[in-house]
Amino acid sequence: MNLLDPEIWAGKIFNGGWVPAGQGPLDVIEPATRKVLTVVGLASVDDANSAVREAAHAQKEWAASKPEYRAAILRRAGDLWNAHEAELSQWIIRETGAIAAKAGLEMHMAAEICFASAALPEHVIGSVLPSNNDHWSFSRRRPAGVVSVIAPFNFPLILSIRSVAPALALGNAVVLKPDPRTPVSGGFAIARIFEEAGLPQGLFHVLPGGADVGAAVTIAPEVSVVSFTGSTEAGRKVGEMASRHLKRVHLELGGKNSLIVLPGADIAKAASAAAFGCFLHQGQICMATGRVIVHESLYDEFLTALGDKASHLPVGNPATEQVALGPIIDEKQLLRMDGIVKSSVEAGATLVAGGSYDELFYRPTVLANVTEDMQAYTEEIFGPVATVFRYSTNAEAIALASDTDYGLSVGILGDVGLAMQIADAVPSGLVHINEQTVGDEPNIPFGGVGASGNGSRFGGAEANIEAFTETQWLTVRSEIAPYPF
Ligand code: NAD
């Protein structure tokens, strides 16, 4: 039996059941064919306001429910991701323009995040505090209440479920606003899984919508915590709104991530790592390798190897062909990133490979001789573009990798001793030695620093409990305390 039937969501949003959307139907375009893939509903601000009210109402009973009851629902959700892998992967492939391996990764992570979250309701959530007063003193974590999750288009399933699952498991209700370009894999698939898993009605809402709905679910008085993943520009706005309304906000934003190739590194392996880091999912990943910083002793040979690889990677429709790269999500994103490539080449950068496109299919691109004044140096490109730099000393490599406002991920290939010196010096939320920059696992505390986010973390019990609960100090005396008046 299919889990996803487009009939159920035509013109609709999910609020525990499927209801007509305030702003009517919205076409979802398959980027590879540029045809309508499905029709969903576009939520309105009124939809958002009624969703948070319902969520706040449903949350009370859910928070009071037995831990084993919540855990069982999360476990069933994990099983359902696995049982429907083939069907749901196809939606990720077609809706996001992903190759099968990327879709498989999203599905695997979704299942594992649900299983990991199933352990949260029974996790230790407090401590006994020594006190000099005549009472017992405890610190305990309680559900935050209603959590809003705002997610982007690129890895829509992982970037939604990584907040939705732990937040629900810890006794919260969740209102999810997926990107309107990926409302099925980033929203309705999750709604269907939790519907089938037996989640009580009203606890989980999916509102495909734009910035207006994102703002509404940020400032609504019923919402206590906002979990935002997206661009630094939009993140700043959400951060400002949330702070003005005194909400806790977790911001997971963009990146300009470096991969450093140390002297003596294996060139073929390093070129493969760089190609993967730069070109996976067409470079539309916050952790994508933005700068490849190569020791001068390897630079020429490495540049040739990466250029060759880029020229031979197949690009096409991942739903019908065996390809390494699919399409860019839409024309706006493609023209933006192509503009960065063109302006950098006009300013003197060398185009080693790629730099051209058909429809939404952009060829893997390698740029050399990029300088500090070029957009390709300063901006997150969010497309399949490698910029390659030469360095001679470790200090230079550290300076180049650190010369950005972002601080999400750094990869270092080669000698582990040298690599550790760099790991100690770079301001980055994630560092991978002998791996490229893209990586995530269900139990790791994921997050960036600087313009990559406000240092919040998702993943693993400790980070998730910190992210989605509030602390209560609780004291208990055996009798009413005496007071001087
Ligand atoms: P985006 O910021 O435009 O959109 C992300 C989400 O925010 C969407 O749901 C969008 O509708 C919503 N949104 C946009 N403006 C808003 C506003 N003013 N108020 C409330 N909501 C608003 O991002 P995008 O271009 O679609 O996604 C790509 C960006 O996301 C890149 O910068 C990428 O690096 C970043 N990203 C970060 C991570 C991470 O974990 N750090 C992961 C993936 C993507």
Cα distances (Å, whole numbers) of residue 443 to 162, 166, 349, 395, 440 = 10, 11, 40, 33, 9
Cα(234) to centroid(ligand 1), Å: 6
The atom of ligand 1 lying closest to the CA of 452 is 41
Over its C-alpha atoms, the chain yields an Rg (Å, rounded) of 24
- Closest CA to ligand 1's atom 20: 214
* Dihedral angle computed from the Cα positions of residues 58, 64, 70 and 73, in that order, rounded to the nearest 10 degrees: -30
Q: 3-class DSSP state for residue 137?
A: strand
Cα(227) to centroid(ligand 1), Å: 11
| Burial of residue 126, with CB atoms counted within 10 A of its CB: 0-12 exposed, 13-18 middle, 19 or more buried | middle
Whether residue 211 is predicted with pLDDT greater than 90 in this model: the reply is yes
pLDDT in tens, 321-357: 999 999 999 999 999 999 999 999 999 999 999 999 9
Q: Which residues pair with 471 in a beta bridge?
A: 141
In this predicted model, which residue has the larger pLDDT, 16 or 105? 105
CA distance 306 to 237: 38
Q: Average pLDDT of 200-224?
A: 98
Cα(65) to centroid(ligand 1), Å: 34
Ligand 1, pocket-test mutation among 23, 45, 102, 150, most atoms within 8 A of CB:
150
Contact between residue 312 and residue 343 where contact means Cβ atoms under 8 Å apart: no
pLDDT in tens, 106-158: 999 999 999 999 999 999 999 999 999 999 999 999 999 999 999 999 999 99
**Strand ranges (E), 122-266:** 126-129, 136-143, 146-150, 173-177, 204-206, 223-229, 248-252, 257-261
* Dihedral angle computed from the Cα positions of residues 337, 343, 346 and 352, in that order, rounded to the nearest 10 degrees: -30
pLDDT in tens, 62-95: 999 999 999 999 999 999 999 999 999 999 999 9
One DSSP character per residue, 432-465 reads EETS-S----TTS-B--EETTBSS--BSSHHHHH
CA distance 59 to 45: 21
- Closest CA to ligand 1's atom 6: 152
Of the pLDDT bands very low, low, confident and very high (cuts 50, 70, 90), residue 466 is: very high
Cα(264) to centroid(ligand 1), Å: 38
Cα distances (Å, whole numbers) of residue 189 to 293, 442, 466 = 39, 19, 27
Q: Is residue 286 annotated as a catalytic residue, yes or no?
A: yes
Out of 54, 252, 278, 380, pick the active-site residue.
252
Out of 112, 222, 286, 380, pick the active-site residue.
286
Q: Is residue 252 annotated as a catalytic residue, yes or no?
A: yes
Per-state percent for the chain, helix, strand, coil, to nearest 5: 40, 25, 35
- Closest CA to ligand 1's atom 39: 252
The residues lining ligand 1, judged by C-beta closer than 6 Å to any ligand atom, are: 150-155, 159, 177, 179, 210-211, 214-215, 229-231, 234, 237-238, 252-255, 286, 380, 382, 408, 448, 452-453
pTM of the predicted model over 0.85: yes
Question: Token digits for 431?
Answer: 């560092």
pLDDT in tens, 226-258: 999 999 999 999 999 999 999 999 999 999 999
Q: How many CB atoms lie within 10 A of CB 342?
A: 16
Contact between residue 375 and residue 316 where contact means Cβ atoms under 8 Å apart: no
**Structural domains of the chain ordered from first start:** 6-253+453-474 (3.40.605.10), 257-433 (3.40.309.10)
Residue from 84, 139, 146, 140 nearest 114 by CA: 84
Question: Token digits for 85?
Answer: 């892998």
- Closest CA to ligand 1's atom 43: 286
Q: Average pLDDT of 267-296?
A: 98
pLDDT at residue 19 in the model: 97
pLDDT at residue 260 in the model: 98
CA distance 70 to 170: 8
Of the pLDDT bands very low, low, confident and very high (cuts 50, 70, 90), residue 1 is: confident
CA distance 372 to 354: 22
Residue from 260, 293, 259 nearest 278 by CA: 259
Q: Average pLDDT of 303-308?
A: 98
The atom of ligand 1 lying closest to the CA of 209 is 11
pLDDT in tens, 90-104: 999 999 999 999 999
* Residue whose tokens read 């990029």: 370
% of the chain at pLDDT higher than 70 = 100
Q: 3-class DSSP state for residue 470?
A: strand
Contacts of 25 (CB under 8 A, 6+ apart): 10, 11, 39, 40, 41, 42
Question: Token digits for 444?
Answer: 């790791």
Contact between residue 354 and residue 364 where contact means Cβ atoms under 8 Å apart: yes
CA distance 92 to 99: 9
Ligand 1, pocket-test mutation among 26, 42, 286, 380, most atoms within 8 A of CB:
286
CA distance 211 to 190: 21
